Homo-oligomer: A and B are copies of this chain.
Amino acid sequence: MQEILKALSHPLRREILAMLRVAPRSAGEIASKFDVSKPTISGHLNILREAELIEQVRNGTTLTYHIRLSVLEETMSALMDKFDIGKGEK
């Protein structure tokens, strides 16, 4: 939980997640969308991977990243529970 929220607290990482929510992408594709260096993107991907929010699949020299939607969903659910926010109000 802590690790996941830390990961979500950086705007660039949220953008990466939103991008992967639509479809898997290679590290290079992700990097090309943002105005930071590839090593910086690589670092953010590592943080997301350690938080288990994404996973990587190698295809030759290319690494493709996929979102782990269930982890995101469960985190949201746990947060709502923690603050007792109604998510099924009827």
Q: Is the interface of A mostly helix, strand, loop or mixed?
A: helix
Interface residues of A in 43-90 (CB under 8 A from B): 69, 72-73, 76, 79-80, 82-85, 87
Provide the bound-state CA to CA distance between A11 and B78, in Å.
Answer: 13
A17 — nearest CB in chain B belongs to which residue?
B83
Which segment of A1-9, A23-31, A32-40 sits at the interface?
Answer: A1-9
Provide the bound-state CA to CA distance between A80 and B69, in Å.
Answer: 11
A contacts with B, residue count (CB < 8 A) = 21
Provide the bound-state CA to CA distance between A9 and B17, in Å.
Answer: 17
Q: Which residues of B contact A80 (CB under 8 A)?
A: 76
Contact indicator B21/A84 (Cβ below 8 Å): yes
A80 — nearest CB in chain B belongs to which residue?
B76
Sample of 11 more A-B contacts, CB < 8 Å, known A5-B14, A9-B9, A69-B85 = A8-B9, A8-B79, A18-B82, A21-B84, A69-B83, A72-B83, A72-B85, A76-B76, A76-B79, A76-B80, A76-B83
